[in-house]
Amino acid sequence: SQQGEEDPQALSIQEGENATMNCSYKTSINNLQWYRQNSGRGLVHLILIRSNEREKHSGRLRVTLDTSKKSSSLLITASRAADTASYFCATGRDDKIIFGKGTRLHILP
Amino acid sequence: DAGVIQSPRHEVTEMGQEVTLRCKPISGHDYLFWYRQTMMRGLELLIYFNNNVPIDDSGMPEDRFSAKMPNASFSTLKIQPSEPRDSAVYFCASSTHKSSGANVLTFGAGSRLTVL
């Protein structure tokens, strides 16, 4: 299916460390996005990378995309307590946006 | 803009009752998506509209679910009759291609449905 699968399912790191989350998918895509969800809230868009791009940066976020391996990674550098949330990759094909099950990230003080 | 507005935020109902969830997208957005989120199944795409027309409803679980978008500023998701397994958080999201050329979604706060 088009749905992305994030890895790991859960991640706990110390504040200040870098956090890396991975996403794999099965079909061809036009773009891939990453979203964050704080507990009890709606999802918030973080970054979009198109299928012809390999890497994008936005502040402390770095996203890579390898279409040959059908995988993406999200790196959050210098993590903060406020980064504690669930992170989802979303694959876009035509107009359809399909989400994975997410990675729960917990930043330890 | 107030963002995507969903109502009700919480709904508790009994099995067999009709449930109507409402969504007001961001003005100017021409795409509207309905998702359902559970721990077991994650975020499932139920249906999406473009210019008020349903484009893909393949994610609608069964005939008990229906969605409409009578105009650009309003959409409903109806479950009739409701069942306990419908308990979930239902999200509405809207988007437009105009700025980024891709569907970057703005989500509402969600409607938490509990069917007893």
Q: Which residues contact A38 (CB under 8 A, 6 or more apart)?
A: A44, A85
B93 touching chain A per CB within 8 A: yes
A101 interaction partners in chain B (CB closer than 8 Å)? 42-43
A96 and B35 within 8 Å at the Cβ level: the answer is no
**B84 token code pair:** 């306990």
A25 touching chain B per CB within 8 A: no
Q: What's residue A1's pLDDT?
A: 47
Nearest beta carbon to residue A95 from set B31, B91, B110 = B31
Nearest beta carbon to residue B45 from set A44, A45, A96 = A96
Residues linked to residue A14 through DSSP beta bridges, in sequence order: A108
A63 interaction partners in chain B (CB closer than 8 Å)? none
Residue A36, pLDDT > 60, answer yes
Nearest beta carbon to residue A45 from set B35, B48, B105 = B105
Cα separation, A20 vs A79, whole angstroms: 10
How far CA B91 is from CA of A92, B24, B94, in Å, comes to 18, 12, 10
B45 and A88 within 8 Å at the Cβ level: the answer is no
pLDDT band at residue A2, thresholds of 50, 70 and 90? low
A4 touching chain B per CB within 8 A: no
What confidence tens digit (pLDDT) does each residue in B5-37 have?
A: 999 999 999 999 999 999 999 999 999 999 999
Closest listed residue to residue B103, CA positions, set A57, A97, A63, A23: A97
What confidence tens digit (pLDDT) does each residue in A74-107 have?
A: 999 999 999 999 999 999 998 999 999 999 999 9
CB A73 within 8 A of CB A23: yes
Residue B100, pLDDT > 80, answer no
A10 touching chain B per CB within 8 A: no
Hey, of B32, B39, B43, B57, which one would you mutate to test binding to chain A, going by the most A CBs within 10 A of its CB? Answer: B43
Cα separation, B33 vs B37, whole angstroms: 13
Nearest beta carbon to residue A101 from set B33, B42, B91 = B42
Helix boundaries (H) for B22-102: none
What confidence tens digit (pLDDT) does each residue in B46-95 have?
A: 999 999 999 999 999 889 999 999 999 999 999 999 999 999 999 999 99
